[in-house]
Structure 1
């Protein structure tokens, strides 16, 4: 502790008095017998659900005090204030004790609030812009749900990959593009073909080629519809075939990974609806072809236009059959979903259990007494007139009978905790029933153990060695 003597006169030197350094040792202990903490310290709940809407705004409820979970349900509704979305935090209580307490009101996104009395921190962040995952949603025309980014599909035919980093790995951010729309994109190998732009070094050297797939921007709401969109293929050889070649510095089962030329999927632009707002299946002969080439060529260039939904996704031909994906395959690029007006999320917590019989019974083996042996002093004692040993890991209801080696009952200690204030400890002040210090020697402690509901857990016997310091009796 430091105390400073302050004087406004700048010519005087400030004087400080510092107390002697005192080091306090804090040793955390395990939960009381029969108590189960549902979350360890630092645990962030993963069971956040959308009650209304489908947005991907990260809601993080993190417990820093494992003794505080209350079993309540919490809601995070979103609302628009002027141009920005904000959020509330509401405590709904439990089914047995319903509440509707607004704990926080109209907070900005990317804000975290710490509730010391509740033992947790709540944080709500902005929705990321980009691709959440790449999935095979159909295979052979049948529904599927397989993650296929940097991971082979179950049949081992292919995988989707982006540009690799210096470690030879590929992240979803490498293909996310610059389009802020949260509508998903599908890459369909359903037997249909479409026109793609084979991108050269300039718009003039670019050309149209036929590819064995179609690309679609998916509807998000009932008033929207799926829209077919264009793709751009980047090729170094400038041939007119979309084919696999070794482009990535990566191997598959010890052999070079063959990947098809990268595909960039370009979605609609509100500013260019006459050019890109519609897919034309006759594009090579359509009068709008030249303007579309310029638009797509620019859109697929790095950081030029925000219409790119998927940027340079490679399709690896793992079975080396020259087929990108079997007919009937649909690959979906799932985008992070933005916040909409009226969206609401829910997170439910589990309460701390304080009377779990099986858990309390398993704790019996941990019951002990310390310090043992007792050599005239206990480091936790604060005065020479206060002497004691501590029994730990005790259930809520415990009776301790202490005997000497002659079998004479020296002291009885009864511990009956209140359900709201349980402890696992009980102390013996090294005195007999008459309040006199016991003699040095060996003692036997016999413990009868019950839980908070008085259910019998069992018994336990402990040996305890006491070595008393010299006694100065004030009465005898």
Structure 2
């Protein structure tokens, strides 16, 4: 009986009973593997490319497979020792799995050596993300030796799924292996490939100013066609690949901008388009030169000689220590589309004086203040909350805001504030501790947000407020009457000179996303097929193994003896002579691959004797010939079949 003793026999019985019960419960509709990958195999010079992304419909059928709780999880690539080998003999070369929380897949199995049901890793996922091609250059069966042209190798590409249910037996199903027999080879005579697998073709950003980028990755060098291509963008940010040579669209409405391996293939290429996310990219703070310090700051700290006085406060923003957000990354909506965000300069004026409400002799955030030059400031639309009914009015702020995308023609921008404490001024985020009843709102100046808008500054104060309560929803949803915010500031006192300690410029730079104005172009250089090159390639013609020393590693048995000529043109006549000048064999090669075998037999079908032979190769299409010498040492023949 199975198992090592009666207890293990019962254990294996229970193990198989679970699978049988699951089959019964599902009316014997057993889980199936995802559709097998439709794979194209490209044999190259000491390289083999496996491409299962060339038919995107087939790839999608595999990757969207969901059968009774079993969802597609990944691909495996194997090398095998022979065309008849089993999966247990295979070397796994790679696993490309969905980037999720699954990773390795463990499942139960019966261990015949111990007689117990154990658990082991059966799928070696790494959350690598899906990839649909691989280039193999090493022989994993022989310890990583380089692939050799003219030698047969055996591979398989499979897909597998996974069911996370603890009651799923098994919890994964993989395709049966379909073995590909592949012979690496140099290009046929006269052919020169413009690229190698995984070469990168750079694109040129011909129009537009986005921070996006694009490039083409060569998957199948044999299919590169010399065409001109353009990447263009749609209003929703999706992109297209247009073949300008044929005036056709190869890819349309693609949305992947991540740069991962999950891009479609076309014409032997994988074109990748990258687009920056809708985030702030960078910020800068520059003190005025010459310095223009606040007398309030220098009175409070005589050692202050200038420098940044505000900070981010770790509020979760993408810039400035968490204090700066592009509005979609804050809590509210905006009418600003991704292609409209601008580089903004905020030009601060230093504090000139303040009203000491609590009499402590120093400035406390929330106390009224003035700046050195009010003519270089502007007003802001202020709200105590986020609806039109919370509109407070149009009041002075200590800075101006500017769109400087065109630095030669800066455009002043509107600003809105969330003035939670209703003191009608711009304040930093701060809370007095303990509360101070002499300060506005007890010194609680938290959650005072500054919104930099996209609209041109309205000095009349009528654009966002009607002067008697306001009509704009500062923080509305997609269908609300929302304001056109591009940047949100939620900033704190840095503890260096105090609020408005100096004149300065604070600059915010967004990621400039891909827009309809952006175009990337490139040319995929064509492969060449030249008769002149084919004549030169005659020098590459060879025969292997040479010498033939009793055996060829490619032979299946002792009744199949041969050597192989390589790098031959489509049509050739091979005449083989012994050293006495007697022709022992004529081989006519007509079409087909660059390889041609000689079975080491003469014209009468008898094995040739050991010795040195001359191969005279006539290539009429090229008008040239080649002579090779070949040594044959035959194995001693012992008759063991009667």
Distance 1:294 1:446, change over 3 A: same
Query: Within 5 Å, which residues of 2 pair with 1:223-372?
Result: 226-227=409-410, 270=454, 273=457, 294=500, 297=503, 299-300=505-506, 307-308=507-508, 338-341=513-516, 343-353=518-528, 355-372=529-546
Structure 1 residues 102 and 46, CA gap change in structure 2 (3 angstroms):
closer
Aligned residues: 305
Alignment CA distance shift 1:365-1:347 (3 Å):
same
Distance 1:77 1:296 in 2: 46
1:69 and 2:224 matched: yes
Q: Is the 8 A contact 1:114 1:120 kept in 2?
A: no
Shift in Å at residue 370 of structure 1?
1.0
Q: Indicate how the Cα distance of structure 1 residues 17 and 297 shifts in structure 2: closer, same or farther if over 3 A, else same.
A: farther
**2:227/2:525 contact within 8 Å kept:** yes
| Equivalent residue in structure 1 for 2:141, among 3, 8, 23 | 23
Q: Which residue of 2 aligns with 1:444?
A: 614
CA contact (8 A) 2:349 2:504 kept: no
Superposition deviation, residue 32 in structure 1? 2.4
Check the 8 A contact 2:209/2:518 in 1, yes or no: yes
Residue 126 of structure 1 pairs with residue 275 of structure 2: yes
**Residue 41 of structure 1: SS of its match in structure 2?**
coil
Whether 2:624 is the aligned partner of 1:469: answer no
Matched, 1:87 2:87: no
TM-score (normalizing by structure 2): 0.39
Looking at structure 1, the residues matched to 349 and 535 of structure 2 have their Cα atoms a distance apart, in angstroms, of 71
Mapped pair 1:403 → 2:572: no
Distance 2:589 2:112 in 1: 45
Change (3 A) 1:429 1:79: same
Instruction: Let me know the Cα RMSD of the aligned residues.
Output: 5.0
Aligned partner of 1:9 in structure 2 is 18
Q: Is the 1:299–1:308 contact (alpha carbons within 8 Å) kept by the matching residues of 2?
A: no
Q: 1:184 to 1:41 in 2, by over 3 A?
A: farther
How much does 1:196 deviate?
11
The Cα shift of 1:415 comes to 2.4
Within 5 Å, give how 1:123-162 maps onto structure 2.
123-127=272-276
Secondary structure (helix, strand or coil) at the match of 2:537 reads: helix
Distance 1:431 1:473, change over 3 A: farther
List per-residue Cα deviations over 1:237-278 (Å, max 9, x = no partner): xxxxxxxxxxxxxxxxxxxxxxxxxxxxxxx97489479xxx
Whole-angstrom distance in 2 between the partners of 1:308 and 1:184: 6
Q: Does 1:434 align with 2:601?
A: no
Q: Distance in 1 between matches of 2:325 and 2:576?
A: 76
CA contact (8 A) 1:7 1:14 kept: no
Mapped partners of 1:365, 1:341: distance in 2: 52
> Per the alignment, in what secondary structure is the counterpart of residue 192 of structure 2?
coil
CA distance in 1, matches of 2:458, 2:501: 11
Q: In 2 relative to 1, CA 374–37 (structure 1 residues): closer, same or farther, beyond 3 Å?
A: same
Aligned to 1:147: none
Q: Secondary structure at the match of 2:522?
A: strand
Say if 2:455 is the partner of 1:455: no
**How far apart, in 2, do the equivalents of 1:60 and 1:116 lie?**
13
Name 2:330's counterpart in structure 1. Answer: none
Q: Which residue of 2 aligns with 1:329?
A: none
TM-score of the aligned structures, taking structure 1 as reference length: 0.50
Q: Distance in 1 between matches of 2:559 and 2:111?
A: 35
Work out the CA distance in 2 between the residues paired with 1:39 and 1:272.
51
Distance 2:411 2:342 in 1: 13
Tell me by how many angstroms 1:103 deviates: 3.7
* 2:240–2:249 Cα contact (<8 Å) kept: no
Query: What CA distance in whole angstroms lies between the structure 1 residues aligned with 2:515 and 2:587?
Result: 62
CA contact (8 A) 1:79 1:342 kept: no
Separation in structure 2 between the aligned mates of residue 386 and residue 295 of structure 1, nearest angstrom: 92
Deviation at 1:392, TM superposition (A): 1.9
Kindly indicate whether structure 1 or structure 2 has the higher relative contact order, using CA contacts under 8 Å at least 6 residues apart: 1
1:378 aligns with 2:552: yes
Per-residue CA distance 1:195-227 (angstroms, 9 max, x = gap): 99899xx9x9x999xxxxxx994549xxxx723
Q: Secondary structure, in 3 states, of the residue corresponding to 1:406?
A: coil
Larger radius of gyration: 2
Q: 1:272 to 1:17 in 2, by over 3 A?
A: farther
Contact 1:443 1:465 in 2 (8 A): yes
Judge conservation of contact 2:212–2:514 (CA < 8 Å) in 1: yes
SS at match of 2:225: coil
Structure 2: runs of 5+ lacking an equivalent: 1-11, 21-107, 114-139, 149-183, 283-318, 327-339, 352-362, 364-368, 374-401, 413-451, 460-498
1:33 aligns with 2:189: yes
Q: Post-superposition shift, 1:429?
A: 1.0
